[in-house]
Structure 1
Amino acid sequence: MKVEKTMKPDAEVKVVGGAKMYPTRTIVENAVESKDHTTLVAAVKAADLVETLSSEGPFTVFAPTNKAFEALPEGTVETLLKPENKEQLQTILTYHVVAGKYNAADIAKLIEKNNGKAELATVSGGTLVATAKDGKVFITDENGNSSQVTIADVNQSNGVIHVVDAVVLPKA
């Protein structure tokens, strides 16, 4: 994975979903501004995870886009957002979160150090596997489903977000 070593101060402010993501804001403060993450934000609110993801952290969040949620079987998101499914929703969302701040260079080093596969322990207690192919990073869940990192290193005051194109799910 190629990582730019010399960055201008402005390079830290990335645009996600049409909004600038300021590294002085928390994960939640930035995510609510992204037009591409309205489903994720609604899910975080429904799961009562706003306070957690606004805390000091640091966290690494693999943030699925609205299109990623839309790719789930019809009715899945609506079902998960119901109050009676809050615990399941919390598990799925925290499966996208790793304790600590792992930027793209950190993940690339872990992949290289571990013969092409880096295991990342999620906050939910599961495992994600990071791999690289053709300069792109993929996150694979415990079911063998992969998600590509489409925007890396969106720095936050309490961690980093990597935008992904699919929802990953823990083993049922």
Structure 2
Amino acid sequence: MRFTGMRTARAAGAALVTVPLALGGLASQSHAQGASPSPSGTFGSGCSAIAQKADTAKDKLVEAASAYPQLSQLVAATVRAKLTSTLDEKPDVTVFAPNDKAFQGITVSQLSSLLSNEGQLKKTLTYHVVDKQITPDELSHGSFTTVEGSKLTTSGSGTDFKVNDKANIVCGNIKAANATIYIIDQVLQPPS
């Protein structure tokens, strides 16, 4: 139990250092892991490029996300917004998790503004979270209320899905103890 907390703290601390570098280049992503596209397993064109340190099915959400180097910016933002306990204590959630490349799509000024405004950061991050576990079968024509309070939609078929008709799910149906994670390639903005 203590090791898990220390691993999260170290991963979160390391990720906080990298937040200002969100627009920098990504490190090479070796250690690829294959995935079979099926409703019961992970799927998506980006799953083979997802480097994972360990099995995350028994880890709470933030600990599970910190196991994926491609989610370091999201983990850092979650820590900065003081949402770690909130998300880890929810029993069943789905997270549409922007990868580090998604954060690179935000301008330096937008990212700086977002990170310096805790209220807006919380609003943006909780817009990526739905308070129920969403299965791949529900993604074809989904409409879900987020923890932030607004709706987001999903569409697609097979192993190709979009969120809000913009963000692609690059790897989906990743399991954590209290969550299902769908990695996306854009940071979603809650409606004004």
Q: TM-score, normalised by structure 1?
A: 0.79
Identity of aligned residues (%): 26
- The one-letter code matched in structure 2 to 1:80 is L
Pair 1:66–1:29, CA change in 2 (3 A):
same
Partner of 2:190: 170
- The one-letter code matched in structure 2 to 1:127 is K
The answer (yes or no) to whether the contact 1:37–1:65 under 8 Å persists in 2 is yes
What secondary structure is seen at the aligned counterpart in 2 of 1:119?
strand
Partner of 2:144: 120
Residue 22 of structure 1, CA deviation: 1.6
Alignment: residue pair count: 151
Find 1:78's aligned residue among 106, 112, 134. 112
Distance 1:156 1:105 in 2: 18
Partner of 2:125: 93
- How big is each residue's C-alpha offset from its partner over 1:97-155, in whole Å with a ceiling of 9 and x where there is no partner? 001101212324xx2xxxxxx21111101111111057411001xxxx61010111101
Partner of 1:131: 155
Pair 1:101–1:5, CA change in 2 (3 A):
closer
Aligned pairs for 1:1-172 (under 5 A) are 4=38, 16-82=50-116, 85-108=117-140, 111=141, 118-132=142-156, 135-140=159-164, 146-172=166-192
Instruction: From the two aligned structures, give the one with the greater strand fraction.
Output: 1
The answer (yes or no) to whether the contact 1:15–1:21 under 8 Å persists in 2 is no
Partner of 1:11: none
Distance 1:3 1:76 in 2: 35
Distance 2:39 2:161 in 1: 18
Q: Which runs of 4+ in 1 moved over 6 A?
A: none
Residue 79 of structure 1, CA deviation: 2.2
Residue 58 of structure 1, CA deviation: 0.7
Distance 1:6 1:88 in 2: 35
- The one-letter code matched in structure 1 to 2:178 is N
Backbone CA RMSD of aligned residues: 2.3
The answer (yes or no) to whether the contact 1:3–1:104 under 8 Å persists in 2 is no
Flag structure 1 segments of 5+ consecutive residues without an equivalent.
8-13, 112-117
Residue 90 of structure 1, CA deviation: 0.3
Flag structure 2 segments of 5+ consecutive residues without an equivalent.
1-35, 42-47
Pair 1:51–1:15, CA change in 2 (3 A):
farther
